[in-house]
Structure formats: structure tokens, C-alpha cells
């Protein structure tokens, strides 16, 4: 019984870490126009002042973003981003979970304006 209880401890600890539940734009999305902001929702509260969003172009060059720390629910992280040109973009995020662990991830999306026929 003692070994079974110990086996459950790591799973309980992992559940407390912040997990990305959704993003806007969505991972893998192709957008007809550039998004004015990037918004991420996690499974629990995050320490917004100690969390970041980066937006990089196809070459890995970062684009300026403005973190909106005081905006939105405690489980959301949002940043505004200036005009993104057509092409592939990568979002990299790092958050400090309220359990004290740093969690990071990344996803990509594409801006591909539709052409008139």
C-alpha cells in the first residue's frame, strides 16, 4: 500500500503545473489577417508579472510585444503585437505557475491574406 501511495505523488504534483488549454490564435491556424493580440488560457492561475509571451518570425527574429499584465482573468496571459506581415509566426511562452514551477511552450500560426479573384 505504501508503494501505491508513493506512485500517486508525482502525478498529483504534475497536475498543479500550468498547462496551456487554448490560445488565440490557435496553434496551427492560418489567418487571413494579422492578430492584434496573442491570448493564452491555462488550467490554473499564473503569476502574470513573471510570465512572458514572445512572437518570432520565420527567421527567429522577435517582434515587439506589450504584455497586458493587469488585464483578464488570473488564468490568462495576453500581449498586443504590432502588425505581423504575411508568413509563419512562432509564439513562445513562459509562465510561473502559482505552485512555483516555471512552464514553457511554443506553437506556430500563419498569416496568409486571401487574394481577390
| Domains of the chain, first to last | 2-111 (2.60.40.1220)
Give the single-character DSSP code of 32: S
| Beta partners for residue 23, in sequence order | 40
pTM for the full model? Answer: 0.81
Name the 3-class secondary structure at 97.
Answer: strand
List of residues 6+ apart from 33 with CB closer than 8 A? 111, 113
User: What is the tens place of the pLDDT at every residue in 67-113?
Assistant: 998 888 999 999 999 889 999 999 999 999 988 999 999 999 999 98
pLDDT given at position 116: 56
| Beta partners for residue 76, in sequence order | 41
pLDDT given at position 9: 38
Q: Of 77, 65, 4, nearest to 36 (Cα)?
A: 65
Name the 3-class secondary structure at 37.
Answer: strand
Amino acid at each position: 500500500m505504501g508503494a501505491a501511495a508513493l506512485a500517486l505523488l508525482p502525478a498529483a504534483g504534475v497536475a498543479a503545473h500550468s498547462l496551456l488549454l487554448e490560445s488565440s490564435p490557435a496553434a496551427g491556424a492560418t489567418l487571413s489577417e494579422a492578430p492584434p493580440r496573442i491570448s493564452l488560457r491555462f488550467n490554473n492561475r499564473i503569476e502574470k508579472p513573471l510570465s512572458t509571451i514572445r512572437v518570432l518570425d520565420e527567421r527567429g527574429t522577435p517582434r515587439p510585444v506589450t504584455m497586458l499584465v493587469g488585464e483578464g482573468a488570473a488564468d490568462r496571459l495576453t500581449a498586443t503585437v504590432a502588425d505581423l506581415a504575411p508568413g509563419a509566426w512562432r509564439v513562445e511562452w513562459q509562465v510561473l505557475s502559482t505552485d512555483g514551477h516555471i512552464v514553457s511552450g511554443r506553437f506556430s500560426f500563419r498569416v496568409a491574406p486571401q487574394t481577390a479573384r
